Chain A
Amino acid sequence: QDIRNTVGNIPMEWYEDFPHIGYNLEGKKIYKPIRNKDELDMFLEKMENPDYWRTVQDKMTGADVKLTDEQVELVHRLQRGQFGDIHFNPYEPSVDFFTHEVMIHPVTNRPADKRSFIPSLIEKEKVSKLVHAIKMGWIKPRKPKDETPTYYDLWAQEDPNSILGRHKMHVPAPKMKLPGHEESYNPPPEYLLSEEEKLAWEQQEPEERKLNFVPQQHRCLRAVPAYPRFIHERFERCLDLYLCPRQRKMRVNVDPEDLIPKLPKPRDLQPFPTTQALIYRGHSSLVRCLSVSPSGQWLVSGSDDGTVRFWEVCTARCMKTLPVGGVVKSIAWNPNPTICLVAIAVEQSVLLVNPCLGDKLLYGATDQVLESYVAPEEERIQPVQWVRAPPEEQSRGIRLVVQHSKPVKQVTWHGRGDYFASVVSDHSNTQVLIHQSSKRWSQNPFRKSRGLVQCVLFHPIRPFFLVATQRHVRIYNLLKQELTKKLMANCKWVSSMAIHPGGDNIICGSYDSKLAWFDLDLSTRPYQMLRGTHHGLAAETQSSALLPLLPPSDLLQNPLLVPVKVLKGHALTLDLGVLDIVFHPTQPWVFSSGADGTVRLYT
Chain B
Amino acid sequence: LRRLCILKGIYPHEPKHKKKVNKGSTAPRTFYLLKDIKFLLHEPIVNKFREYKVFVRKLRKAYGKSEWSTVDRLKDNKPTYKLDHIVKERYPTFIDALRDLDDALSMCFLFSTFPRTGKCHVQTIQLCRRLALEFLNYIIASRSLRKVFLSIKGIYYQAEVLGQTVTWITPYTFAHDHPTDVDYRVMATFTEFYTTLLGFVNFRLYQSLNLLYPPKLEVQADAELKPAEGKEYAMDSESYLEKLSALSASLARVVPPTHEDEVEIDEFPVEGEVAEQMDERKKEQEALEKHKKLFEGLRFFLNREVPREPLAFVIRCFGGQVSWDKSLCIGATYDVTDPSITHQIVDRPRVQQQVVGRYYLQPQWVFDSVNAKLCLPVADYFPGVLLPPHLSPFVTEQEGDYIPPEKLKLLAMQRGENPGTTLGTVVSGLGEESEEEEEEEEEEEDDNDKEEEEEDESEKEEEMKLKKMEEQKTQSNKVQVWAGKLRLEDKERLEQEQQSEEKRLAIMMMKKREKYLYKKIMFGKKRKVREANKLAAKRKAHDSAVKEEKKKSK
Going nearest first, the 8 A-B pairs with the smallest beta carbon separation are A226-B174, A178-B394, A190-B539, A245-B14, A190-B538, A188-B389, A563-B505, A183-B151
Q: Does B152 contact A (CB under 8 A)?
A: yes
Q: Is the CB of B307 within 8 A of A181?
A: no
Residue B87, interface by CB 8 Å? yes
Instruction: Flag if A238 contacts B190 (CB, 8 Å).
Output: yes
Question: Does B41 touch A at the CB level, under 8 Å?
Answer: no
- Tell me if A150 is interfacial: C-beta within 8 Å of chain B: yes
Q: Which of B80, B151, B203, B517 contacts A185 (CB 8 A)?
A: B151
Contact of B152 among A185, A219, A243 (CB under 8 A): A185
**Min CB–CB distance B155 → chain A (angstroms):** 9
Given the complex of chains A and B, what is the CA–CA distance between A183 and B151 in angstroms? 5
Chain A residues, Cβ within 8 Å of B363? 221
- Among residues 487 to 506 in chain B, which have CB atoms less than 8 Å away from a CB atom of chain A? 501-506
A556 CB–B CB distance under 8 Å = no
Beta-carbon nearest neighbor of A221 in chain B: B363
Q: Are B509 and A242 in contact (CB under 8 A)?
A: no
Residue from the list A230, A256, A563 in contact with B518, Cβ < 8 A? A256
Which chain B residue lies CB-closest to A161? B92
Cβ–Cβ contact A252 & B30, under 8 A = no
Q: Are B389 and A247 in contact, with the CB atoms below 8 A?
A: no
B109 to chain A, nearest CB (A): 10
Tell whether A186 pairs with B100 under 8 Å between CB atoms, given A153-B203, A260-B503. no
Residue contact B186 to A173, C-beta cutoff 8 Å: no
A158 interfacial contact with B, CB 8 Å = yes
A142-B76, A172-B100, A235-B182 given as contacts; is B172 within 8 A of A224 (CB)?
A: yes
**List of B residues within 8 angstroms of A235 by Cβ:** 182-183, 186-187
- Cβ of A40 within 8 Å of any chain B Cβ, yes or no, is no
Contact size class for B? 35 or more
Residues in chain B near residue A562, CB distance under 8 A: 505, 509
- Binary B-proximity of A517-542 (CB < 8 A = 1, otherwise 0): 00000000000011101000000000
Q: Does B362 contact A (CB under 8 A)?
A: yes
Nearest-neighbour CB distance to chain B for A267, whole angstroms, equals 9
Q: Which of A162-170, A198-206, A353-361 forms contacts with chain B? A: A162-170
Known: A153-B203, A238-B190, A530-B508. A222 touches B11 (CB 8 A): no
B149 close to A (CB within 8 Å): yes
Q: Which residues of B contact A245 (CB under 8 A)?
A: 11-14, 30-31
Query: Does B510 make an interface contact (CB < 8 A)?
Result: yes
Give chain B nearest CB distance to A143 CB in angstroms: 7
Measured CB to CB, the closest approach of chain B to A504, in angstroms, equals 20
Tell me what chain A mostly uses at the interface: helix, strand, loop, or mixed.
loop
Cross-chain pairs A/B with CB under 8 angstroms, 20 sampled: A146-B80, A152-B200, A166-B35, A172-B99, A178-B394, A184-B389, A185-B152, A186-B150, A220-B347, A220-B387, A221-B364, A225-B172, A227-B152, A229-B153, A230-B176, A232-B182, A241-B11, A254-B521, A260-B518, A261-B511
A155 to B96, CA, bound (A): 11
Does B514 make an interface contact (CB < 8 A)? yes
Q: Point out the residues of chain A lying under 8 angstroms from B36, CB to CB.
A: 166
Contacts of B391 in A (CB 8 A): 181, 184, 188
Chain B CB within 8 A of A233 CB: yes
Contact (Cβ within 8 A) B150 A221: yes
| Closest residue of B by beta carbon distance from A227 | B153
B521 lies within 8 A of A256 (CB): yes
Complex CA distance for A183 and B200, rounded to whole angstroms: 33
Across-interface contacts of A185 in B (CB, < 8 A): 150-152, 390
Q: Check: B425 CB closer than 8 A to any chain A CB.
A: no
B137 on the interface (CB 8 Å rule)? Answer: no
Q: Are B509 and A154 in contact (CB under 8 A)?
A: no
CB interface residues, B 13-35, toward A, < 8 Å? 13-14, 30-31, 35
Whether the Cβ atoms of A246 and B521 lie closer than 8 Å is no
C-alpha spacing A219/B392, complex, angstroms: 17
A266 to chain B, nearest CB (A): 6
Asked if B322 is an interface residue, CB under 8 A from chain A, the answer is no
- Fill in one digit per residue for A482-506: 1 if any B CB lies within 8 Å of its CB, else 0: 0000000000000000000000000
Distance A188 CA – B389 CA, assembled complex (angstroms): 5
Q: Does B103 belong to the interface (CB within 8 Å)?
A: yes
Residue on B with the closest CB to A255? Answer: B521
* Known contacts A176-B102, A256-B521; A266/B200 CB under 8 A: no
- A206–B222 Cα gap in the complex (Å)? 56
- The CA-CA distance from A187 to B181 in the complex, in Å, is 31
Interface flag for B89 (CB, 8 Å):
yes
Are B12 and A244 in contact, with the CB atoms below 8 A? yes
Known contacts A142-B77, A242-B6, A245-B12, then 11 further A-B pairs from the complex at CB < 8 Å, ordered by chain A residue? A150-B199, A153-B203, A166-B36, A175-B102, A176-B167, A178-B156, A185-B151, A188-B389, A226-B174, A241-B103, A260-B506
Say if the beta carbon of B121 comes within 8 Å of chain A: no
What mask results when residues 342 to 381 of chain B are scored 1 for a CB within 8 Å of chain A, else 0? 0000011100000000000011100000000000000000
CB neighbours of B151 from chain A (8 A)? 179, 183-185
Q: Give the distance to chain B from A82, nearest Cβ to Cβ, in Å.
A: 36
**Distance (whole angstroms) from the CB of A547 to the closest CB of chain B:** 15
A213–B154 alpha-carbon span in the complex (Å):
13
Q: State whether the Cβ of A448 lies closer than 8 Å to any Cβ in chain B.
A: no
Q: A173 vs B91: C-alpha distance in the bound complex, in angstroms?
A: 13
The verdict on A151 contacting B203 (CB below 8 Å), with A162-B92, A243-B12, A244-B11 known, is: yes
Residue of chain B at shortest CB distance from A162: B92
Q: A160 within 8 Å of B by Cβ? A: yes
B171 adjacent to chain A (CB < 8 Å): yes
Q: Determine if A154 and B88 form an interchain contact, defined as CB atoms under 8 angstroms apart.
A: yes
- Determine the chain A residues whose CB is within 8 A of the CB of B80 once the complex forms: 146
B406 on the interface (CB 8 Å rule)? Answer: yes
- A146 to B81 CA separation, bound complex (whole angstroms): 11
Q: Output the nearest chain B residue to A244 by Cβ-Cβ distance.
A: B11
Closest residue to A245 on the B side, CB-wise? Answer: B14
Scan B118-154; emit 1 where CB is below 8 A from any A CB, else 0.
Answer: 0000000000000000000000000000000111111
Whether, in the assembled complex, A564 has its beta carbon less than 8 Å from a beta carbon of chain B, the answer is yes
* CB proximity to A under 8 Å, residues B176-229: 176-179, 181-183, 186-187, 190, 199-200, 202-204, 207, 213
Minimum C-beta distance from A551 to chain B (A): 14
Report Cα–Cα, A146/B84, bound state, in Å: 14
Interchain CB contact (< 8 A) of A184 among B167, B200, B390, B405: B390
- When chains A and B are docked, how far (Å) is the Cα of A188 from the Cα of B388? 8
A260 to B505 Cα, complex, angstroms: 10
B460-498 interface code vs A (CB 8 A; 1 in, 0 out): 000000000000000000000000000000000000000
Q: Which residue of B is nearest A150, CB measured?
A: B199
Given A154-B88, A190-B542, A219 and B387 contact (CB-CB distance below 8 Å): yes
Q: Is the CB of B535 within 8 A of A190?
A: yes
Partner of A226, one of B93, B172, B507, B542: B172
- Give the nearest-CB partner of B186 in chain A: A238
Task: Look across to chain B and name the residue whose beta carbon is closest to the beta carbon of A560.
Answer: B509
Q: Which of A3-40 contact B (CB under 8 A)?
A: none
Contact call B305/A234, Cβ cutoff below 8 A = no
Indicate whether A250 reaches chain B with its CB closer than 8 angstroms: no
Within 8 A of A (CB), among B276-313: 305-307
Cβ-based interface call for A574 (8 A):
no
Residues of B contacting A178 in the complex (Cβ-Cβ under 8 angstroms): 156, 167, 392, 394-395
Chain A residues positioned under 8 Å from B102 (CB to CB): 175-176
Confirm or deny: A237 has a beta carbon within 8 angstroms of a beta carbon on chain B: yes
Using A158-B93, A188-B389, A226-B172 as known contacts, say yes or no to A564 and B505 having CB atoms under 8 A apart. Answer: yes
Q: When the two chains form the complex, which single residue of B2, B110, B176, B202 contacts A151, counting CB atoms closer than 8 Å? A: B202
Q: Cα distance A572–B26 when bound, in Å?
A: 49
| A216 touches B (CB below 8 Å) | yes
